[in-house]
Amino acid sequence: MKKLLFIACVVILLVLARDHADQSGLTEKASGAARSATLPFKIAWLSMKEPDSKLVVPVEGVSAEQIRDSWHAPRSGNRLHEGQDIFARRGTAIRSATGGYVMRVGESPLGGKTVFVAGAGGRHYYYAHLDDYAVGLAVGDYVTPETVLGYVGTTGNAAGTAPHLHFGVYTMSGAIDPLPLLMDRS
């Protein structure tokens, strides 16, 4: 019963926010604020769905067979690699591997230019070492496997390496290997 009540509240809030934004002629800044304000509800709604059993390879023009397994390879600082490195030419488009909402667009010392996307089942998808972001990409945006998030690069601790995307998948229990989930784009 509580779950149904929660779902009903989320749906009502989303409809009200959408209708208000449509009728009030909000500026882009205010519209972005409205998107961000409803983001936790959208992510909660999405997290109640089953996680995707398959994801499309996020780097345009790369097949799943071309990805050399780098899961748990040793890294500096006594770390293990928690993702897959997908190599491609600098500037190659990176598309979302699944449907979801952009949670974060920003920079970090390890990942450089990064994007986090929240997907079904409470999974979070991490795209790192981007050369640049897609124009207009913002927190709260709904993305699909057709949405460009950014472009392959060497930012963060990837400076001096071959251009690649670090792609990570995180669950409530921690990182999981994305490679078995990846399939070619049609």
Spatial separation of the C-alpha atoms in residues 138 and 184, rounded to whole Å? 26
Q: Please indicate, yes or no, whether the overall pTM of this predicted structure exceeds 0.85.
A: no
The burial of 47, by beta-carbon neighbours within 10 Å (0-12 exposed, 13-18 middle, 19 or more buried), is given as middle
In contact, 102 and 116? CB cutoff 8 Å: yes
Spatial separation of the C-alpha atoms in residues 37 and 18, rounded to whole Å? 12
Q: Residue type at 143? A: V
Domain ranges for the chain, please list them. 2-47, 55-183
In contact, 120 and 99? CB cutoff 8 Å: yes
The burial of 19, by beta-carbon neighbours within 10 Å (0-12 exposed, 13-18 middle, 19 or more buried), is given as exposed
In contact, 90 and 163? CB cutoff 8 Å: yes
Q: Which numeric CATH code is attached to 55-183?
A: 2.70.70.10
pLDDT, one tens digit per residue, over 85-139 is 999 999 999 999 999 999 999 999 999 999 999 999 999 999 999 999 999 999 9
The DSSP secondary-structure symbol of 129 reads: E
Share of the chain above pLDDT 70, in %: 81
**Catalytic residue positions?**
164
**Which of 138, 145, 114 is closest to 52 using CA atoms?**
145
